[in-house]
Chain A
């Protein structure tokens, strides 16, 4: 012990540190990398790949957990990219489909002022509704709410379209959302009246 403790007050580089131990008396500290040794005692480079994924000590576990989370996020990134290209494919498909067909909905005389008529346009699984207001104007919208696709209910007397699922409210005149969670206006079906018959001619989608 007497060798370990430096009693001198003027040792070079240790001035004023009298009575303390020189650093050379301690065992060199092991690197963290060397704390955990594989059970078979072979070096890391000789270990099977899977052993690196099942660490024993905390620092290694922390590293593996962050690395695996990074991998998971990159997989998520791949999923988002696939989603983007799926939307692009849908767009391509719609553009390829071309103009929507002309479809007869009803005779004008069969739609009384203040009444509502449902129909499907452009496909059989695209529900829409036609409203004839008291002043005689015709309006038609897609019936799926832009929030979560619930069927909306028009109320011509109050001049609104209501979604019963989450109390969304649209303006009947424009189809724009006026209350509740719907983020976009209802798609508007463009109409044409020919020789007393009402026809759907296309769909107008809007973001605002």
Chain B
């Protein structure tokens, strides 16, 4: 993700963090469902879903980590920028 060109105000960053939080909550709930469904399938002897589910979960983690990294970059940019 690109580094923001200028520092956002804290209010703007709060709005952004709300948006990111919304995405992350949805992805984490998806991962929880995926984990329980995979565990149920695995214990029931259905092994075909295990690897695809692990890959999808890893993708969700990568997306979440990317959003968190973007948030960190926003903060750094805001700290570097003069007070607004």
Contact = CB atoms under 8 A, between A and B. Distances in A.
Contacts of B20: 70
Q: Report whether over half of chain B's contact residues are helix, strand or loop; otherwise say mixed.
A: helix
B79 interface: yes
Contact of B44 (A45, A59, A207): A207
Interface string B11-38: 1011001101100110110011011001
Given A32-B11, A71-B68, A88 B50 contact: yes
Interface in B36-53: 38-47, 50-51, 53
Contacts of A87: 38-39, 42, 50, 53-54
Interface of B: 9-11, 13-14, 17-18, 20-21, 24-25, 27-28, 31-32, 34-35, 38-47, 50-51, 53-54, 57-58, 60-61, 64-65, 67-68, 71, 75, 79-80, 82-84
Chain A to chain B: the 4 pairs with minimum beta-carbon distance, closest first? A205-B45, A207-B44, A80-B31, A84-B54
Contacts of B31: 77, 80-81, 84
Interface residues of A, number: 42
Contact of B27 (A77, A85, A95): A77
Contact of B28 (A32, A77, A205): A77
Contacts of A85: 54, 58
A77 B18 contact: no
Contacts of A77: 24, 27-28, 31, 60-61, 64-65
Given A32-B11, A84-B53, A87-B39, 18 more contacts: A31-B9, A33-B10, A33-B83, A52-B75, A59-B10, A62-B14, A63-B14, A66-B14, A67-B75, A73-B25, A74-B65, A77-B65, A80-B28, A80-B61, A87-B42, A87-B53, A91-B42, A91-B51
Contact of B41 (A43, A67, A71, A207): A207
A136 interface: no
A181 B80 CA distance: 57
B54 A60 contact: no
B24 A73 contact: yes
A71 B51 CA distance: 26
B57 A80 contact: yes
29 contacts: A31-B9, A33-B9, A33-B83, A59-B11, A63-B14, A67-B75, A70-B24, A70-B67, A70-B68, A73-B21, A73-B24, A73-B25, A74-B61, A74-B67, A76-B28, A77-B61, A78-B61, A80-B34, A81-B58, A84-B57, A87-B38, A87-B39, A90-B42, A91-B47, A95-B47, A183-B40, A184-B44, A207-B44, A207-B46
